[in-house]
Amino acid sequence: MKIFLKSLVTGFVFIMILAGCGSGTKTSTESGGSLDNQSDVRKVKVAYDQASKPMSWIDENGNPTGYDVEVMKKVDELLPGYEFEYVGTSSDDLLIGVEQGKYQVGVKNAFWTQERTEKFIFPKEFIGLSSAGLVLKKGNENIKSLSDFASAGFTLAPIAANNAQYTIIDEYNIANPSNKVKLKAGDEFSVDVVQWVNEGRVDGGVMIEGPFEKQVTAEDGPYHHLKNDVVYKEFAVIKTWPLFNKKEQEFADAYDEAVKQLKVEKKTNEYSVEFYGRDLFEVLDKVNR
């Protein structure tokens, strides 16, 4: 019996020693190896505006898609140390959520503004390009620019002060004090520009080309019946950015390296054609914002 108990205690001690040795072994990440262990992969939440087609939306199968989302999916493929979880939400919740750290990054066809640099990290590499233009009545298609619009004394659909489109018009007004656009801050982040113009409530409104195409030009668009009544006049092509939480500099740096590669491979050009119907990168040398 004594021999049996001694053997049992000796075996238990040996097992505990082995367990201790195992717990002290470094993982491949700790020893400088590659991120090939599932526990080494950092999961991050990527918020996207789920009602911003063609930049970002939920398709008929319930999956996130759109220019911004598909580029981020390619970024995810190039970053083995990260796993992206896409969270569809509203534009306002995205901004608040990224700022508070609920989401690590958000994509919403976001333009750069000085105010936003105080709340978010803007990476070095922009994610895409967006066409901004005026929606006008067919009879006013002679208006080619913001200057023309201002000179005509036309009224503009209200834009929320926290919307970057407001900043674009405000910047124009600051640069052109003698020929300002009548700019009014709205209570909502965006208004139904096409409907407002069609009803004559305003003479024009600022809109992104992609949504105009989906709403008016597309045969299944809600305002396709107005395709001969309203027109879109581009006045600028603007860089768009993902917005990172202020504590996510390392993540933003990793994103930069991945997007650089995608641009070299012309993946961003391909997605621009797929989702916007044109390669906006062809006019990149004329983009000053």
Contact 235, 155 (CB under 8 A): no
Q: Where do the CATH 3.40.190.10 domains begin and end in the chain?
A: 41-128+240-286, 130-238
pLDDT digits (tens, 9 = 90+) for 76-126: 999 999 999 999 999 999 999 999 999 999 999 999 999 999 999 999 999
pLDDT digits (tens, 9 = 90+) for 221-252: 999 999 999 999 999 999 999 999 999 999 99
**130-238 under CATH 3.20.20.210, yes or no:** no
pLDDT digits (tens, 9 = 90+) for 7-27: 444 444 444 433 444 443 333
- Helices 249-264 and 67-78, axial angle in degrees (round to 10): 100
Read off φ and ψ for residue 34, nearest 5 degrees: -80, 160
Say whether 62 sits in a helix, a strand or coil.
Answer: coil
Alpha-helix residue ranges (DSSP H) falling in 31-156: 67-78, 91-100, 114-117, 146-151
- Lateral strand order in the sheet of 42-49: 82-89, 42-49, 105-110, 230-244, 128-137, 204-208
CA–CA dist 103, 45 (Å, integer): 5
- Residue 156 burial by Cβ neighbours in a 10 Å radius (0-12, 13-18, 19+): buried
Q: How many CA atoms lie within 13 A of 85 on its CB side?
A: 8
Contact 199, 229 (CB under 8 A): no
pLDDT digits (tens, 9 = 90+) for 174-226: 999 999 999 988 776 568 999 999 999 999 999 999 889 989 999 999 999 99
Contact 255, 123 (CB under 8 A): yes
The fold for domain 41-128+240-286 equals: D-Maltodextrin-Binding Protein; domain 2 (3.40.190)
